[in-house]
Amino acid sequence: MAQGMRQGYSGLQILLHWTIALLVLFQLIFGESMGEVAEALEHGETPDASEQFLADAHYWVGIAILVLVGLRVILRVTQGAPAPIGSGPQLLIAKAIHGIFYLLLIAVPVTGLLAVYVDEEIGEIHEIGKPLFIAFIVLHVLGALFHHFKLKDETLRRMFVPGR
């Protein structure tokens, strides 16, 4: 994907980054209601109304993430994105984590859809997304804070302020 074509992210790229980040956090915190509702229905019970609401939200928020990530990838290819600041192994790690995020942001909702429409066993694979997302978010946030407070570079600022 195009990298280094620009110095900063566009306003729309920044808006998408933070919107998707918030939606992913919502999915990670409330995802369990999806399984709870399926289990209640299997046992012939009526799911709790709030549980049902959260499960419906999980479905639609998950699909929204997939659509927004599609838009984000198109923007990245057409407008480009700045290369992570740094060199050597540090640059490679940042690039790898960003690449893994794009993979997860596509594979996790797709396996969710497959679990609903094709085979519920795929839900087991979908659930692996949870610890993977959490681990990479922790690394990603630590990286961002390290850049901001230790290296004192533009990394965190440019994910808030649009640039060319």
Q: How far is the CB of 49 from ligand HEM (least distance, A)?
A: 19
Helices (H), 43-87: 49-79
Residues 83/155, Cβ–Cβ less than 8 Å: no
What is the sign, positive or negative, of the torsion defined by CA atoms of 22, 28, 32, 37? positive
Please, which residue, 52 or 130, has the CB nearer to ligand HEM? 130
Please, which residue, 46 or 129, has the CB nearer to ligand HEM? 129
Q: Which two tokens stand for residue 144?
A: 């961002």
> Of residues 31-50, which lie at the interface with ligand HEM (CB under 6 A)?
31-32, 34-35, 38
> Distance between CA atoms of 131 and 58, rounded to whole angstroms?
17
Q: On the CB side of 128, how many CA atoms lie within 13 Å of its CA?
A: 7
> Distance between CA atoms of 72 and 17, rounded to whole angstroms?
8
Q: How far is the CB of 110 from ligand HEM (least distance, A)?
A: 8
Binding of ligand HEM at residue 141 (CB under 6 A)? yes
Encoded one letter per residue, x for contact with ligand HEM by CB under 6 A and - for no contact, window 91-130 reads: ---x---x--xx-----xx--xx-xx------x--xx-xx
Q: How far is the CB of 2 from ligand HEM (least distance, A)?
A: 10
Residue 46: exposure state from Cβ atoms within 10 A (0-12, 13-18, ≥19):
exposed
Task: Give residues in contact with ligand HEM (CB under 6 A).
Answer: 17, 20-21, 24, 27-28, 31-32, 34-35, 38, 58-59, 62-63, 65, 76, 81-82, 84-85, 94, 98, 101-102, 108-109, 112-113, 115-116, 123, 126-127, 129-130, 133, 137, 140-141, 144, 155-156, 158-159
